[in-house]
Amino acid sequence: MTSIILVAALAIGLSACGAKNNSDSGAGDGKVTLKFATDASYAPMENMDKDKIVGFDVDFLDAVMKEAGYDYKLDNTGWDPLFADLSSSNHKYDGAISSISIDEDRKKSFDFSIPYFESVNMILTKEDKPVKDAMELKDKKVAVQGGTTADKLMKGIMGDNNSNLKRFDSNTLALMELENNGVDAVVADFAVVQAYVQQNPDKKFNAIYDRTNFASEYYGILFPKGTDEAVKSKIDAAVEKVRASDAYKQMYKKWIGVEPDTSNLVTMK
């Protein structure tokens, strides 16, 4: 009887860990500490403020971890390393949050939480060089952050090997290229584009939606493939509760600058 109880207790203890040999025992409060990665170059979702990571995703993760009962650590790793660190057999992190769109290709290699944010890509141009839709970008020079859904969308429109499609390591560099007249347009998530326009009121930009060619996409917390289902279920329940809360609306207004429309989001599992 004692051995059965011991085995059961061990199984419960192991189920509390999200990644293999990765989570530590917490900050002395008995909680498991989960380790998360981000690419802190995607304001207002995540960026560096001196030596601190700030942004919507940072506030959201904090609320979710508190709701789920986990301690956590968040590291700025960069975009490509983030995926590499979660895909290797000895992955460094239990998860990642970095405006990561849920798509079928990524789901082949990773697990996702339920969606927590609805986004759509926008087109940003100089005011004196407006476009009506994404199809007008086909023969223009366009900057995107490499490896993002904006990159994937524009490859579909312009062609994968089109030399006019300029890929950068961050949206910040892509936006600088537009400022310096190196490209005709930048395509990026609406939160990034809106924040940039708001922060540069003296610069004349034209930002448009093209919902015909750019459908809504949804961000999720990324996990290594095969993450413990008990951990994922606990985090999913916390995501569902936080995204329906007044706190979610407050952090959205704080970072995005507008009231959120969560009518689509709150019904998604």
Distance in angstroms (rounded) separating the CA atoms of residues 55 and 42: 9
Q: What does the pLDDT look like over 184-236, one tens digit per residue?
A: 999 999 999 988 998 888 999 999 999 999 999 999 999 999 999 999 999 99
CATH topology of domain 121-209: D-Maltodextrin-Binding Protein; domain 2 (3.40.190)
pLDDT over 70 for what percent of the chain?
88
Q: Is the pLDDT of residue 183 over 80?
A: yes
Between these two residues, 64 and 267, which has the higher pLDDT value?
A: 64
Mean confidence (pLDDT) of the chain: 89
pLDDT of res. 146:
94
1-38 pLDDT, tens digit each: 444 333 333 333 433 344 444 555 555 566 789 999 99
| Alpha helices, H only, 131-265 | 149-158, 171-179, 190-199, 229-243, 246-256
Write out pLDDT tens, residues 130-161.
Answer: 999 999 999 999 999 999 999 999 999 999 89
Q: Give the model's confidence band at 89: pLDDT under 50 very low, under 70 low, under 90 confident, else very high.
A: confident
CATH of domain 20-118+219-262: 3.40.190.10
N residues, the chain = 269
Do 121-209 and 20-118+219-262 fall under one CATH topology? yes
pLDDT at 258 over 80: yes
H or E stretch at 80: helix 79-87
- Checking if the pLDDT of 50 tops 90, the result is yes
**Element housing 86 (H / E):** helix 79-87
pLDDT number for residue 265:
86
| pTM (two decimals) | 0.79
User: Do residues 164 and 139 lie in contact, with contact meaning Cβ atoms separated by under 8 Å?
Assistant: yes
What does the pLDDT read at residue 30? 65
Closest Cα partner for 194 from 213, 175, 170?
A: 175
The pLDDT, as a whole number, for residue 199 is 86
Domain residue ranges in the chain: 20-118+219-262, 121-209
Structure tokens belonging to residue 266: 């709150």
Picking from 114, 97, 120, the residue whose alpha carbon sits closest to that of residue 242 is 114
